[in-house]
Amino acid sequence: MKTRNQILTALMMGCAALAITPASAKNTIRWASQGDALTSDPHAANESPTHSASRKVYDVLYYNNKNMKLTPWLATGFKLKDSTTWEFSLRKGVKFHDGTPFTAEDVKFSIERAQSPTSDLKGDISSIKEVKIIGPHTVQIITKEPNPILTNQLTNVFIMSKAWSEKNKVTKPQDRAGKEETYAVRHAMGTGPFKLKLREPDIKTVLVKNTEWWGLKDYPHEVDEIIYTPIANPATRVAALLSGELDFILDPPLQDLNRIKNTPGLQLKQTAQVRTIFLGMNQGRPELLASNVKGKNPLADQRVRQAMYQAINIDAIKKKVMRGYSVPAGIITPPAVHGYTEELNKRRPYDLAASKKLLAAAGYPDGFSIQLDCPNNRYINDEGICQAVVGMLGKIGIKVSLSAIPKTIHFPKIKNRETDFYMLGWGVSTLDSHYVFNYLVKSADKGWNGTGFKDDAINDLIGKIEKEVDFPKRDAMIAMVWKKMKNNVNYLPLHHQVIVWAMNDKIDVPIVADDGVRFIYTKFKK
Amino acid sequence: MAVMVVVAFVAFLMFNFVGDPVDNMVGQEASYADREAMRDRLGLNDPFLVQFTRFAGNAVQGEFGISYRLQRPVADLISERMPATLELVMASAILAILIGIPLGVYTGIRRDALSSRLVLMFSLVGVSLPTFVIGILLIYVFAVILGVLPSFGRGEAVQLGWWSTGFLTVSGWKAIILPSITLALFQMTLILRLVRSEMLEVMRTDYIKFARARGLSDRTINFGHAFKNTLVPVITIIGLNVGSLIAFSIITETVFQWPGMGFLFIQAVGFADVPVMAAYLVLVALVFVGINLLVDILYFVVDPRLRVDRSVAMGGDE
């Protein structure tokens, strides 16, 4: 019976498609990128492609707009009642895709859902102690301690319908140790600009315009339908764009960019991404794990680190490895992040003679040997960059052996302190320097800061930045940490990744630094 | 059964080297404690043998757990993707046989004709070019330049019960052409060359000379006598190759974004999605075992001597 119904439905849909297609002048965008969102459950995976997909169907209280500026979204504003009580007023007249009105209940429910043990977002909003409903369109969020960046942390906390979640038994995100798939993995109920029509993970996702969306008067986009197909192979992805089967690809490979640029009817857009690539050096260990220097750690000496820095010819890497698509970095955080300045981003000059002098002064006139650990499937041309670094450090006598491995093996090495010298790239979801400090600068035994360096003054400052709600004072402390880091050469900054999007010239989708497509800004050329 | 236990065991040993799945499952913000909690929940901290026994125990009951990547039951994922792979493999196998065998017979009989030489030359391309190059080449010619066939995907699939088929829609037929040619090319040349060399051998035997002396028509000799004698090795190779078609479909599926099992497996490797990898490898082992059994049975059908020998041997035992 089920089979027969399915065939009937398929036939009917086929007929309907035939009937509709010629008459409508629908604005459809067919697009692809390397990999699909992991799930439709907006709290189950803290990963940028998944957030980008959720953002189309779900709304948030505060939104990062196309210029990465924090914009009131489902919240219309807030008042700080005291240093830990934030009172948000919520947008009125907003409806979920099934017609249920959006209220403070949904906000409380969603934040608590995002804090539950199986949620992957709980780390982002661990500062929230309680959500109180004051009225149908007013909520108070009470934080454990003063938290200056609460609104930034809410930009990925998507608001789900409480009624829908209860009805479909998805009040908690999917537990991967469980046995059943929950309803929210392939279904969605948000207030966002698009409705989820079809979801076949890894194969196809179809979204249709939410004609009732509250934001249509401010963001009158012209997209009626979005068809997304992940295409893992870069050559196939480009071929599909060239053949006109796709309108837009998020991640064209560097070697095909010229070809796309020179094809009539196609265009490229580029911008610096919110991700910086750099090298980490273990400075805390008494002796390196893989080096010919025994009994001491050459990387603990600031002069050695500076020598390595000045031996790296970043312009050559940009030109040869990145084909021009990178922005050399002086600090390990990109332009979109609060705390970044042009001044800080200035690099120390590339100077081999100075490098050699520094090495000799530190007691290593003939260099030393070291191993560089590098991912080979995570960042744009990651392995190529590492190979270039190996050659450049070789010129000042540092013999680097390269170990390029998949990210699933590389990252645990950093976090378990099993590497002396490694590549890492860091994106900043809150767009605030504190995020970088917290994970990469504050000293810790485990986790992402694999440098092992410890400076109590810096640790102290980071603790203060976390709680300071007097913004000028806070900014001064952020600047101080960056300056100290730069002088210490605790990391070797390489470049800010540049992202390039390719699309045909019938559509105009503004490129966004977090690499997440925001179709609500799309224009069609007639 | 033993084969599958060994495959599962070796596969499990290898999973220790694909990296840490937990890293992919939680965001970079997750704390060390959160990661450990996740690892405990998934049982990744248990000793190897405990993990393996748990997997084997569940697998026997058809329970393969939840995919770490897609958060859906592995059994559902595989049964959803299997039809795509099997249809592709079937189409390729038919292509390889329908083109490979006649060409093999032809080049075997007319070994010196110019046309035979051309066919053989062309077949070298099939053996020497790697699958992904052929795939990209075909995409470039037929999708980008000529614009007649799609470069990726499976077209519209129609659901028949749990089986989704691409054979009921025009877009489905169009979509399967390039991937099936890509996948079939290597097997086709293999079959062609094998049939040819077997034919050459058989044509020299006395048996064929006698047949000619009896004045039988060429057609009867070539197909009724000679070709039949080449079948045993050809069936072995075809049988084994259907297995490797399933295994090799990984590359073709990746190039064409074909939503099959091989593609699922490759994605799983990148993510260290252990439940999917384990289930896939066990399934492929099962397919190989099944095909070998089938091939052995087919021998008896095409080669009467095996049946005779068997009864003689058994008679000797008594």
Query: A115: domain CATH number?
Result: 3.90.76.10
Q: Band of the pLDDT at A470, cuts 50, 70, 90?
A: confident
Contacts of B140 in chain A (CB under 8 A): 239
In angstroms, how far is the first alpha carbon of chain A from the final one? 46
Name the more confident of A469 and A178: A469
A vs B: CB pairs below 8 A: 165
Which are the contacts of B174, defined by CB distance < 8 A and separation ≥ 6? B149, B150, B155
Instruction: Give A160 to chain B, closest Cα distance, Å.
Output: 19
Q: Could you give the CA distance from residue B123 to residue B134 in angstroms, rounded to a whole number?
A: 13
Give tens-digit pLDDT for A382-393: 999 999 999 999
Residues A73 and A94 in one domain: yes
Contact B19 A446 (CB under 8 A): no
Give tens-digit pLDDT for A3-58: 445 544 444 444 444 433 443 568 999 999 988 888 899 998 888 889 999 999 99
Determine which of A59-73, A331-345, B296-310 has the lowest per-residue pLDDT on average: B296-310
Residues A355 and A456 in one domain: yes
Residues A148 and A25 in one domain: no
Q: Is residue A189 part of a domain?
A: no
Contact A245 B159 (CB under 8 A): no
User: What confidence score (pLDDT) does residue A19 get?
Assistant: 39
Determine which of A13-22, A63-72, A81-90, A322-331 has the lowest per-residue pLDDT on average: A13-22
Q: Is residue A374 part of a domain?
A: yes
Residues A236 and A328 in one domain: no
Give the residue from A178, A212, A245 where a domain finishes: A178
Of A46, A178, A185, the CB nearest to B29: A46
User: What confidence score (pLDDT) does residue B130 get?
Assistant: 85
Q: Is residue A335 part of a domain?
A: yes
Contacts of A377 in chain B (CB under 8 A): 270
Both tokens of B296, joined, read 């052995």
Residues A457 and A333 in one domain: yes
User: What confidence score (pLDDT) does residue A450 get?
Assistant: 92
CATH number at A455 reads: 3.10.105.10
| Count of the separate structural domains present in chain A | 3
Contact B158 A201 (CB under 8 A): no
Contacts of B66 in chain A (CB under 8 A): 174, 176-181
- Per the CB < 8 A criterion, the answer to whether A494 and A329 are in contact is yes
pLDDT tens series, chain B, 318 aa = 677 788 888 887 777 777 778 777 777 777 777 788 778 878 788 888 888 888 888 878 878 888 888 888 898 899 889 999 999 999 999 999 999 988 988 888 888 888 888 888 888 877 888 888 899 999 999 999 998 999 998 888 888 888 888 888 888 999 999 999 999 988 888 889 888 888 888 888 888 888 888 888 887 887 777 887 788 788 888 887 888 888 778 999 999 999 999 999 988 888 888 889 888 888 888 888 888 888 888 877 777 777 665 554 444 343
Please classify residue A376 by burial: count the beta carbons closer than 10 Å to its beta carbon, then call 0-12 exposed, 13-18 middle and 19+ buried.
Answer: middle
Chain A residue closest in CA terms to B269:
A408
> What integer is the mean pLDDT of A146-155?
91
Do the bridges between strand A128-135 and strand A225-228 make them parallel or antiparallel, or are there none, so unpaired?
Answer: unpaired
Of B20, B70, B139, the CB nearest to A239: B139
Instruction: For chain B, give every domain's residue range.
Output: 2-60, 75-317
Instruction: Give B273 to chain A, closest Cα distance, Å.
Output: 10
Residues A224 and A158 in one domain: no
Mutate to test the interface with A, among B14, B29, B40, B145 (most CBs of A within 10 A): B29
Q: Could you give the CA distance from residue A262 to residue B250 in angstroms, rounded to a whole number?
A: 33
Q: Is residue A141 part of a domain?
A: yes
Instruction: Give B164 to chain A, closest Cα distance, Å.
Output: 11
User: What confidence score (pLDDT) does residue B108 get?
Assistant: 85
The question of ipTM being above 0.95 is answered as: no
Q: Is residue A472 part of a domain?
A: yes
- CB contacts under 8 A, B 207-266 vs A, are 254-257, 259, 263-264, 266
User: What confidence score (pLDDT) does residue A22 get?
Assistant: 40
Residues A421 and A524 in one domain: no
Q: How many CB atoms lie within 10 A of CB A90?
A: 21
- Per the CB < 8 A criterion, the answer to whether A250 and A517 are in contact is yes
Chain B residue closest in CA terms to A242:
B144
- CB contacts under 8 A, B 6-65 vs A, are 17-21, 23-32, 34, 37-38, 41-43, 63, 65
Mutate to test the interface with B, among A122, A236, A514 (most CBs of B within 10 A): A236
Residues A283 and A152 in one domain: no
Of A202, A447, A448, the CB nearest to B259: A202
- CB contacts under 8 A, B 279-318 vs A, are none
The number of helices, as runs of H, and strands, as runs of E, in chain B is 14, 2
Instruction: Give B100 to chain A, closest Cα distance, Å.
Output: 28
Residues A495 and A460 in one domain: yes
Both tokens of B84, joined, read 């795509």
User: What confidence score (pLDDT) does residue B308 get?
Assistant: 61
Residues present in chain B in total: 318
Residues A121 and A53 in one domain: yes
Q: Is residue A197 part of a domain?
A: no
Please classify residue B236 by burial: count the beta carbons closer than 10 Å to its beta carbon, then call 0-12 exposed, 13-18 middle and 19+ buried.
Answer: middle
Q: Is residue A64 part of a domain?
A: yes
From the list A91, A103, A115, the residue with the least C-alpha distance to A171 is: A115
User: What confidence score (pLDDT) does residue B309 get?
Assistant: 54
Radius of gyration of chain B (CA): 24
Contact B25 A45 (CB under 8 A): yes
Show the beta-strand stretches assigned E in B140-203.
158-160, 163-165
Q: What are phi and psi of B27, to 5 degrees?
A: -70, 170
- CB contacts under 8 A, A 378-417 vs B, are 406-412, 415
Q: Is the pLDDT of residue A208 over 50?
A: yes
- Per the CB < 8 A criterion, the answer to whether A436 and A426 are in contact is yes
Q: Could you tell me if A21 lies within 8 Å of chain B, comparing CB atoms?
A: no
Mutate to test the interface with B, among A13, A15, A18, A38 (most CBs of B within 10 A): A38
Q: Could you tell me if A202 lies within 8 Å of chain B, comparing CB atoms?
A: yes
- CB contacts under 8 A, A 158-197 vs B, are 174-181, 185-186
Class of the domain covering B75-317 = mainly alpha
Q: Could you give the CA distance from residue B58 to residue A179 in angstroms, rounded to a whole number?
A: 11
Looking at the DSSP assignment, which residues form a beta bridge with residue A401?
A371
Q: What is the dihedral of CA A356, A361, A365, A370, to 10 degrees?
A: -80
Q: Is residue A174 part of a domain?
A: yes
Residues A515 and A493 in one domain: no
Contact B144 A242 (CB under 8 A): yes
Q: Band of the pLDDT at A367, cuts 50, 70, 90?
A: very high
Residues A424 and A475 in one domain: yes
Instruction: Give A179 to chain B, closest Cα distance, Å.
Output: 6
Domain residue limits at A114: 42-178
Contact B20 A244 (CB under 8 A): no
- Containing A21, the helix (H) or strand (E) segment is none
Of B17, B66, B140, the CB nearest to A176: B66
User: What confidence score (pLDDT) does residue A340 get?
Assistant: 94
Which are the contacts of A171, defined by CB distance < 8 A and separation ≥ 6? A109, A113, A165
Q: Could you give the CA distance from residue A201 to residue A230 in angstroms, rounded to a whole number?
A: 9
